[in-house]
Amino acid sequence: MNVPITKNEMKIAIIDSGVDSNHTKLKDINLSGFGIKSNGAGFSYIKDYSDEFGHGTAIAGIIHKHTKDLPNVELIIIKIFFDHLIANEEIVIEAIRWCINNDVKVINLSLGIEKNNPPQNFYNVCKLAYDHNTLIIAASNNVARSKHKTYPASFPTVFGVDSGLIKKNKDYGYVKNNPIEFLAKGTTQRVLSNNGKFNIVQGVSFACAHFSGIVVKLIEDPKLINKNIEDIKMALIENSASNIKPWINYNPSGEIQYQITNVNLDYASNELFNNSKKFLWIRNVAIFPTCEKEMSLFAKMKSTSVKVQFLIDYPRQVKSVFNEANEFLLSINRVPNASELKKIDSFVIGYYLDQLFEGNIHFGDRLLELAISNNKNIYYFDKRLERKIDELKEKYNYTAVAYCPVIQLSDYNDLKPFKFLPEVNIPVIAVVGTSSKQGKFTTQLRILGIMEKEGYKVGFLSTEPHGELFSASYSFPYGYSSTVNIGSNNWLDFLDKVLKGIQFYNTPNLILTGIQSSIIPRVYDDHACYQSVLNSLTFLQGIKPDVFICAINPDDDIEDVMNTIEATKIYTGAKFLFCVLSPFRRTDEEGYESHRKISNTEFHDFCEKIIYKLNIPVIDVMDSDNDNFILEAIENSLIELN
């Protein structure tokens, strides 16, 4: 549609219900317009921009009041409401695109949609406008304490406006740390209406229009030298009135809603989910203590992203959890000597503070000090070591890296912009289990290896503290000695953004993850057990798996297995693929929990029992003969999902 375009004019578009261009208060102003309608195949541009409702006329009248003394302002009316004050999102997007392509400087959108998740196409076009220096000013919603956010007002690339307790048209306020940053006059006021009339109204639509007028005046102010959006915003903030209060209290509890101002997502593309870039500093490692279950994987699995040079264990060894030694790796139970230290750049240090023997804890402390005094990097799991590490850092002027995989509130805030990334539309595979210490992580590593060998790109979200040393894209270590320091009420939101980030930046074919512990309580009077189950349920609901694999133990009752599978299905709607049986049975030797590897016969007997009773496949995930079965089961499920 060709609307007369005059050079050097400040074009303001009002996307609304049209305008009564014959209104006495709008005569002799520089105004033009057109309508956009959906025609099934696309859009029709029509000449009609008359106003049947009065809303658009009111908006135009308010903006004109602010800008009437400015010589170069042109109002462009884009009518999208015809039979009622409802239009679909696609028409608004089309209207915004027209504005971008026709050098509109300011777009007034006294409208919005309320949604739980931001609409992606809408976000994209608003970002496009922002990148083209076309300013969108949009209204919040009129409903107090709405459960959902209003878009596009809540997008970071849009100036969102709400009603403030304001008497004068030209006054406005700025609300720091709020998704809707600006307040303007939305209180009782007289506005123009259609058919040459007036109306007494109130509402955020009119606040938005006032703010648009204020912004246009600011842009046309010769004192404003730089006219890009960020500079305009800074000028608006500086000139805002400090005592303006919102008409409706957003959140009676006083909780601050964090402002999403960071639209630069380059940090994520460079580092956040890029394992190889993030851990450039750790290549050759020594592992301590070898007897911990997490550490045995370094000896067993080849899928590490680091090279293990040697293993260190306590001088006084406790019963090893898995008692597996790798004959090809040097294993010592003393502090390493100088030539051994030269072979490594880093130590990987586990939970030695849990040791019952003081001597072993003392040994761990010595090793830690040795690492720091020799400026070796440290990848440690136990956050309790942080203070000791900080003291040693200062003592030895440490300059290397001491890293503990932790999720802090700052991580939660850093990921807030990820809300606007596309929804996850690739399969998510989860490994769940009937208890702890049954090889869920090992199962994930095996699946990772099998899928990657077949050419699949896998986004791996680990819940183990050492996951990132096994090429995980991201770590959420909520299990034993959890280092996830955000409340579980934020997990769903956070995990949604993590998965979006992994999908967007790593472009995998699928995402793989696994829970910690189980989702069915085994003990009914243990709060810690219940909390662990609740955490795993929350995690599961945060990742929303499409398919799952269930790890089981020879100690499990049939009911334990069945309940875990059914509960996972109920909570996630995910499809069950198969069970993997851990070959270790719990024992209690000399007062220590330990594990005994069961015989092949015991293994097969238990598999048969489950298969017979529940008619589900059960396999040994470590047996490479099962690789094809695993691959086919997953591939078939991916086909069904598509």
Nearer to another protein by Cβ, of 118 and 213: the residue is 213
Least distance to another protein, CB of residue 487, Å? 40
Angle at 344 between CA 325 and CA 365, to 5 degrees: 75
Place of tokens 């009914």: 524
Nearer to another protein by Cβ, of 71 and 196: the residue is: 196
Other residues' Cβ atoms within 10 Å of the Cβ of residue 228 = 10
Gap between the Cα atoms of 435 and 417, Å rounded: 36
Q: How far is the CB of 247 from another protein (least distance, A)?
A: 10
* Nearest distance in Å: CB 468, another protein: 58
Q: How far is the CB of 200 from another protein (least distance, A)?
A: 4
Strand order in the sheet with 402-403: 330-332, 307-312, 284-288, 346-349, 377-380, 402-403
Residue placing its CB nearer to another protein in the complex, 62 or 451: 62
- Please give the residue ranges that form the binding site for another protein (CB under 8 A): 65, 167-169, 187-190, 193, 197-201
DSSP assignment of 402-435, as one string?
EE---B-HHHHHHTGGGGGSPPP-S-EEEEEESS
Smallest gap from Cβ 237 to another protein, in A, equals 23
Residue 346 near residue 284, CB atoms below 8 Å: yes
- Shortest distance in whole angstroms from residue 503 CB to another protein: 49
Specify the 3-state DSSP secondary structure of 399.
coil
Residue 3 CA: distances (Å) to CA of 81, 181, 275: 19, 33, 52
Question: What phi and psi, each to the nearest 5 degrees, are found at residue 631?
Answer: -60, -45
Residue identified by tokens 């209290």 is: 249
152 and 126 Cβ atoms separated by less than 8 Å: yes
Nearest distance, CB of residue 54 and another protein, angstroms: 10
Q: How far is the CB of 415 from another protein (least distance, A)?
A: 42
Give the other-Cβ count within 10 Å of 471's Cβ. Answer: 19
- 129: Cα separation from own chain's centroid: 24
CB 281 within 8 A of CB 345: yes
Nearest CB to another protein, comparing residues 65 and 115: 65
Distance in angstroms (rounded) separating the CA atoms of residues 52 and 89? 21
Residue carrying structure tokens 């719990």: 586
**Least distance from C-beta 173 to another protein, angstroms?**
16
H or E segment at 76? strand 73-79
